[in-house]
Structure 1
Amino acid sequence: MSQKSLLSLAVGAALAGSFFHASTARAQEAQLQPTIEVTASRVAQTVDASLADVSIITRADIEKTGAPDLIEVLRLQAGVDVARLGGAGFQTGVFLRGTNSNHVLVLIDGVRVASANTGAFAFENLPLDAVERIEIVRGPRASYWGSDAVGGVIQIFTRKLDGAHLAASVGSYGSADGSVGYGMQGDTWGFSAQAGGRHVDGFSASNVLAGPYVYNPDDNPMQNHNQVAQAWYKLGTQTLSASAFRSIGTQSFDNGPIFDNGGGPGISHTLDQAIGVNLEGALTPDWQHRLSVGTTRTNIDTPAFGSAYRSTREQLSWTNDFTIAANQHLIAGFDYVNDRGRSLDTFGGTTQYDKTRDNSGVFAGWRAQADALDGEISGRYDHNSDFGGEFSGSIAGGYRLSDSLRLTASYGTAFSAPTLSQLYSPGYGGYYAGNPLLDPERSRTGEIGLEWKIDDANRFDARAFSTRVRDLIDFSGGATFQAININHASIDGLELTHNWRAGAYSWTNTLTLQDPRNEDTDTQLLRRPKQKFNSVFDAQLSDAFSAGAELVYAGRADDFGGKLGAYAIVNLHASYAVNPQWRFGARLENLGDRNYQLAYGYNTPGRSGYLTVSWSPAK
């Protein structure tokens, strides 16, 4: 019997034991508290008060799943589609509400982290054990955040430890990872630091459908080393804080025989780094502010292709929240971003392009509430050194029909600036080159929503949206396929979410129905299924035991070279706290060993298991 099968059986046995033991334990009444988010309008507000569609994933939610990486957590969310080119550590696209992967603004502790070259963030390089919470805001947020927030914003907050922390995990496909950290949190100061690593032997990323330029049957291992740190100090009414994230990885990828005269895997080396410093607090009783500076760095080296990319970004922002009255707030501020991107030909030792650009933006928003009615209006003007000026705006309103029922409606515009690669890449032998005359991709979105708190145990949310995107960038210009603004896309969708909780039991169901289409060709946008359903059931059956199950379903989708079939997989998870210091977790993925694809010609994990142990000192 293979190592994968043995480990899967062991995890299955651990889960079965957890369920059996939990069935005899007493139920504990869950305590629900208002959840604060800061991403939708750049200032703190409760999720219930926000007029945007917001989801919060807490550290407790992450630990409950026992998931090996961030992708398994994100794919459970309404409106989120993922496309991974193989197993752990492989390039992963995250689509929010059917928009492109570079139409999602990604922040780590408030710092923009997408590459200036590609416009995308490498979610696969972010260690899950370093994450404290995730905020997902669906819909256009360019009126507050500027470029890239077409489909929405995903902000990731790194962990802030209070005491020591140790964690280790082993799993199928030779997966092994661990982390160690320590932090102290006092009344006037605190710090936290954590380091971790992961190694996965992996499996062959591709199959024969990928074609001879890609397919190779060898396994594709990966390894990653990462560090996160935070520190803060209180200075009267102000708090000075800093955060740092760094991830260094090596990923083997399939490199077909046609490319390298005999086959064998290629290797990519990556670096992702983000550092931020903030000063925030009350300047007067009615004036809160946050002044932030940040820097990011992204490197990708692929010796087999003779290519290397370097990307840096320097950022400055100032956000202010003025309390005009008890039920009115004015939010205003500015941002400045400097991007630099380089593309290097390591075979010839030449620089293909080395470009910089600046973007400055000013924004303002007004929020008000009067009896059953609340509303928000916001606007922003950006000036970019490449394409000039761009205005984004949004308006939203909510009306509370009763204490348990609220209707919402919104309209917003957004844009995504061309990446430096789309602007300046020389292409491949002159083909698929960039175009410095590109305009930004622009969108407009309308949304209506219904929020219904049926009773203390049931909540139902429905959101219908319609997005139109124009000036999509496509490599179809002339005989050399240069980048041009040509395509138009339409995305109509409906998201339904039902949350049920009774004592120790909770059940969340999300249904996403969407029609993401290329209007020019009347075809479905690639790798985005029209239907998606997730169901997550959890039982906290004692102070020590929790257990649960996940159902993930996705409908058929189009892709380069072929069709992606519909699939449904079931995952199980359980957690057992031996004492206040030690906790064990188990996860069994793809219980039915379903063969499915997230990208045409690329493999996904079969039945696989993971065991986790963590230690923190008792408080």
Structure 2
Amino acid sequence: MLTSGAKAQETSAETGETIMLAPILVTAGLTPIEQEKTGRAFTVITGEELEARQIRYVADALRQVPGFAVSRTGAPGGVTQVRVRGAEANQLLVMIDGVEVNEMSSGEFDFGGLIADDIDRIEILRGPQSAFWGSNAMAGVVNIITRRGERNGFTVKGRSETGTDGTFLGGLSLSGGGENYDMALSGAWRKSDGFNISDFGSEKDGDRNATVNGRLTLDLTPDLTVEGTLRYVDRRNAIDPQDFTWGSPTYGYVVDGDEETAAREFFGSLSATHVSLDGALTQKARFTGGDIHRDYFQNGARTSWNDGNRYTASYQATYAFETPGFLGASHQITGGYEWERETFLPSHLDETFSRDTNSLVAEYRGEFLDQLFLNAGIRRDWNDRFSNATTYSLSGAWKIPDTTTRLHASVGTGVTKPTFFEQFGYVPDSFTGNPDLTPEKSLGWDIGIEHGFFGGLLIADITYFNQNLTDEIITAYGGAPDYTSTVINGDGKSRRQGVELSATLNLFDGFSASASYTYTDATEQTSAGDERLAEVRRPRHSGAVNASYTFLDQRARVFGEVVFNGKMTDQAFVPILPPRVTLDAYTVVNIGGSFKVNEHLEVFGRIENLFDEDYQEIFSYNAPGRAAFVGVRGTF
């Protein structure tokens, strides 16, 4: 597991020296907070850890996070779903630099195109976060924060690697700034010939990905700062279809086929932050926009496409004050307004669908006696296409005095709005959307304890979580002869509960290690009343262990990691098999190392799936076998 925190820093007005502050969380509410002061279950993955571990896709880093389950359709670059604490993939909100990137069609984010390049840190929250972040944050939030430039100078970085399956990766970045501004611009290109993700035939399924990311921060005055971000992704990957030719011996299996999917993603934001009253009042206005266009091809011809857009405008004000006579307390009160418009245009319907949401949100933060930290939030959403919703969140942390023990707990509600396809989708002779759907609703809570051993060299945390889901959107089938389907809000509850364990060990002499384990019990309500089935693609047991050693005056580094995924169920549409099948447990071992030739140049290499484990994350889709990579990285 990767858990190091992001450090904030400031410059001393008296000495001019840089002072390192406590690690902070940007995403754990409407305002940043020190990590030890939040009651929410979180994980922070730093960019330095991603580079040191040679992680190339964000999804592969999430495999080692407690509570996370990753499912990929075969090769890297393929459609990749991420589920948290047994929830659905569209119940996880994903942001890049604070811009929501979930797709309008499915409500999910496809992690298959998210290259781990030029990332400063990844902040991860588990549990309902809708009170602060709205719909889709029912099970958690992943916020990818890209690097800013360091002021008063410029740095150029480059990276190149090649490996198995005709893989090539290249990246280049420029970052830096002056006295009152900083900027960063990066680009990454990855291509691979891939391998055959089907058990039938021999066609390779490859992909290519071009990603450009930029951000600029400008201090107009000592009290007024503006910031802008831009991101563009152009990707294309080969896919194999499922065979639904009646009577075929491969019916229901993934078979070779000349099919491809292409996507163009564009996201941007512009914000202004003003601080007044000697820092007591902070106001922030922000506008974000995003467009995702997808094309689908068969035998070289485009067969369908869709285009989705999301625009958001928000304003919030935060006032901070202290009450020294009352438990030595300090307080923060935040209020805000948000407007969001989403549009969706599918190729099979000559109509653009849209929906608007207006929201009011409020937050309170309190610190008492330098040991007790409370947070509360409430949100009201007014939707023009479905019912309105109110969500709330409460959390607290207690640092027990004169110990290395911290207690943390949170409770909250969440909502997930229907997707555009669920509301308005239409597939002739197969599916009809339901515009009368209501949002899915959830109540969840967790409680945990963190304790440091051996003077803080070993830090361990155990957390129990419990969350339910009501008004779940499920598929309903009609009768003979056509058996057409639609979607409805189901009765009953889907239940998710479990335990998350994590530990981080930092010893002297350059050795560090970490481990994580998650037990997840996720069941769905079925038509049989009280009978419950395990949710698909959620392993009951999962975990990871990794270790690294740095030596030769920190010039050389070696690492190894083990990722375990227990048995899990999946759906199968093969006539000779039951509707649900069991996918075997698997264990993947990765190793690697790097060596700094000089202060500017570093060489590295790694082997993924060292023991060539044969496994599937999704029924009938082959996963990657053993692969090796070598590369070079330079800083100037």
What is the TM-score with the length of structure 1 in the denominator? 0.89
Q: Kindly indicate whether residue 289 of structure 2 is the aligned counterpart of residue 295 of structure 1.
A: yes
Contact between 1:584 and 1:612, CA under 8 Å: does it hold in 2? Answer: yes
- 1:384 shift after superposition: 1.0
Match of 1:250 among 220, 223, 236: 236
Contact between 1:147 and 1:414, CA under 8 Å: does it hold in 2? Answer: yes
After TM superposition, the structure 1 stretch with the greater mean CA deviation from structure 2, 469-478 or 242-251, is: 469-478
Q: Which residue of 2 aligns with 1:266?
A: 259
Cα deviation code 1:65-111 (max 9, x no counterpart): 11232221111111111000010210000011111110001111111
Q: Which amino acid aligns with 2:42?
A: V
Q: Which residue of 2 aligns with 1:229?
A: 214
Cα deviation code 1:193-241 (max 9, x no counterpart): 1222111000112225xxxxxxx53111111111111112101111111
Q: Kindly indicate whether residue 104 of structure 2 is the aligned counterpart of residue 104 of structure 1.
A: no
Q: Which residue of 2 aligns with 1:359?
A: 357
Alignment partners' CA distance in 1, 2:57 and 2:256: 29
Alignment partners' CA distance in 2, 1:352 and 1:424: 12
Q: Kindly indicate whether residue 522 of structure 2 is the aligned counterpart of residue 516 of structure 1.
A: yes
Q: Which amino acid aligns with 1:425?
A: G
Q: Kindly indicate whether residue 59 of structure 2 is the aligned counterpart of residue 40 of structure 1.
A: no
Classify 1:254/1:539 alpha carbon distance in 2 versus 1 (closer, same or farther; 3 Å): same
Q: Kindly indicate whether residue 498 of structure 2 is the aligned counterpart of residue 490 of structure 1.
A: no
Q: Kindly indicate whether residue 286 of structure 2 is the aligned counterpart of residue 283 of structure 1.
A: no
Q: Which residue of 2 aligns with 1:160?
A: 148
Alignment partners' CA distance in 2, 1:407 and 1:293: 37
Q: Which residue of 2 aligns with 1:25?
A: none
After TM superposition, the structure 1 stretch with the greater mean CA deviation from structure 2, 507-516 or 159-168, is: 159-168
Q: Which residue of 1 aligns with 2:537?
A: 527
Contact between 1:65 and 1:587, CA under 8 Å: does it hold in 2? Answer: no
After TM superposition, the structure 1 stretch with the greater mean CA deviation from structure 2, 596-605 or 301-310, is: 301-310
Q: Which residue of 1 aligns with 2:303?
A: 306
After TM superposition, the structure 1 stretch with the greater mean CA deviation from structure 2, 491-500 or 285-294, is: 285-294
- 1:123 shift after superposition: 1.4
- 1:258 shift after superposition: 6.2
Q: Which residue of 2 aligns with 1:23?
A: none
Q: Which runs of 5+ in 2 are unaligned?
A: 1-18, 249-254, 323-328, 573-580
- 1:353 shift after superposition: 4.3
Contact between 2:513 and 2:548, CA under 8 Å: does it hold in 1? Answer: yes
- 1:571 shift after superposition: 0.8
Q: Which residue of 1 aligns with 2:7?
A: none
Q: Kindly indicate whether residue 315 of structure 2 is the aligned counterpart of residue 315 of structure 1.
A: no
Classify the secondary structure of the residue corresponding to 1:128.
coil
Classify the secondary structure of the residue corresponding to 1:412.
strand
Classify the secondary structure of the residue corresponding to 1:66.
coil
- Aligned counterparts, 1:372-391, within 5 A: 372-391=371-390
Contact between 2:203 and 2:256, CA under 8 Å: does it hold in 1? Answer: no
Contact between 1:67 and 1:587, CA under 8 Å: does it hold in 2? Answer: no
- Aligned counterparts, 1:56-67, within 5 A: 56-67=44-55
Contact between 1:257 and 1:263, CA under 8 Å: does it hold in 2? Answer: no
Alignment partners' CA distance in 2, 1:258 and 1:470: 33
Alignment partners' CA distance in 2, 1:235 and 1:219: 53
RMSD over aligned Cα atoms: 2.0
After TM superposition, the structure 1 stretch with the greater mean CA deviation from structure 2, 543-552 or 254-263, is: 254-263
Q: Which residue of 2 aligns with 1:12?
A: none
Classify the secondary structure of the residue corresponding to 1:149.
coil
- 1:597 shift after superposition: 1.0
Cα deviation code 1:155-191 (max 9, x no counterpart): 0112334411111111211110101221222220122
Cα deviation code 1:539-589 (max 9, x no counterpart): 222321121111111110000112111111111121211112112221111
Q: Which amino acid aligns with 2:506?
A: R
Q: Kindly indicate whether residue 443 of structure 2 is the aligned counterpart of residue 457 of structure 1.
A: no
Q: Which residue of 2 aligns with 1:89?
A: 77
Classify the secondary structure of the residue corresponding to 2:606.
strand
- Aligned counterparts, 1:164-179, within 5 A: 164-179=156-171
Q: Which residue of 2 aligns with 1:476?
A: 476
Alignment partners' CA distance in 2, 1:477 and 1:360: 34
Alignment partners' CA distance in 1, 2:332 and 2:495: 34
Q: Which amino acid aligns with 1:116?
A: M
Alignment partners' CA distance in 2, 1:432 and 1:32: 56
Classify the secondary structure of the residue corresponding to 1:310.
strand
- 1:259 shift after superposition: 7.0
- 1:32 shift after superposition: 9.5
Q: Which runs of 5+ in 1 are unaligned?
A: 1-30, 209-215, 346-350
Q: Which amino acid aligns with 1:336?
A: W
Q: Which residue of 2 aligns with 1:211?
A: none
Classify 1:281/1:547 alpha carbon distance in 2 versus 1 (closer, same or farther; 3 Å): farther
Identify the structure with bigger relative contact order (alpha carbons < 8 Å, sequence gap 6+). Answer: 1
- 1:265 shift after superposition: 2.0
Match of 2:194 among 185, 198, 202: 202
What is the TM-score with the length of structure 2 in the denominator? 0.87
Q: Which amino acid aligns with 2:515?
A: N
Alignment partners' CA distance in 1, 2:118 and 2:456: 33
Alignment partners' CA distance in 2, 1:259 and 1:478: 21
Contact between 1:398 and 1:407, CA under 8 Å: does it hold in 2? Answer: yes
- Aligned counterparts, 1:328-343, within 5 A: 328-343=331-346
Q: Which amino acid aligns with 1:132?
A: D
Classify the secondary structure of the residue corresponding to 1:303.
strand
Cα deviation code 1:243-301 (max 9, x no counterpart): 11110011111136767999632011111111011112413320123221111010111
Q: Which residue of 2 aligns with 1:551?
A: 562
Alignment partners' CA distance in 2, 1:393 and 1:375: 14
- 1:320 shift after superposition: 2.8
Q: Which amino acid aligns with 1:303?
A: F
Alignment partners' CA distance in 2, 1:301 and 1:316: 29
Contact between 1:207 and 1:603, CA under 8 Å: does it hold in 2? Answer: yes
- Aligned counterparts, 1:368-407, within 5 A: 368-371=366-369, 372-402=371-401, 403-407=403-407
Q: Which residue of 1 aligns with 2:415?
A: 415
Q: Which amino acid aligns with 1:552?
A: V
Q: Which residue of 1 aligns with 2:586?
A: 567
Classify 1:613/1:517 alpha carbon distance in 2 versus 1 (closer, same or farther; 3 Å): same
Q: Which amino acid aligns with 2:294?
A: I
Q: Which amino acid aligns with 2:472?
A: L
Classify the secondary structure of the residue corresponding to 1:221.
strand
Q: Which amino acid aligns with 1:197?
A: W
Alignment partners' CA distance in 2, 1:318 and 1:275: 17
Contact between 1:220 and 1:265, CA under 8 Å: does it hold in 2? Answer: no
Contact between 2:372 and 2:397, CA under 8 Å: does it hold in 1? Answer: yes
Classify 1:200/1:82 alpha carbon distance in 2 versus 1 (closer, same or farther; 3 Å): same
Contact between 2:387 and 2:438, CA under 8 Å: does it hold in 1? Answer: no
Q: Which residue of 2 aligns with 1:15?
A: none
Aligned residues: 574
Match of 1:594 among 608, 613, 618: 613
Classify the secondary structure of the residue corresponding to 1:279.
strand
After TM superposition, the structure 1 stretch with the greater mean CA deviation from structure 2, 322-331 or 560-569, is: 322-331
Q: Which residue of 1 aligns with 2:330?
A: 327
After TM superposition, the structure 1 stretch with the greater mean CA deviation from structure 2, 372-381 or 548-557, is: 372-381
Contact between 1:433 and 1:482, CA under 8 Å: does it hold in 2? Answer: yes
Cα deviation code 1:414-468 (max 9, x no counterpart): 00000111100012x2423211000101000021111112232011111101000
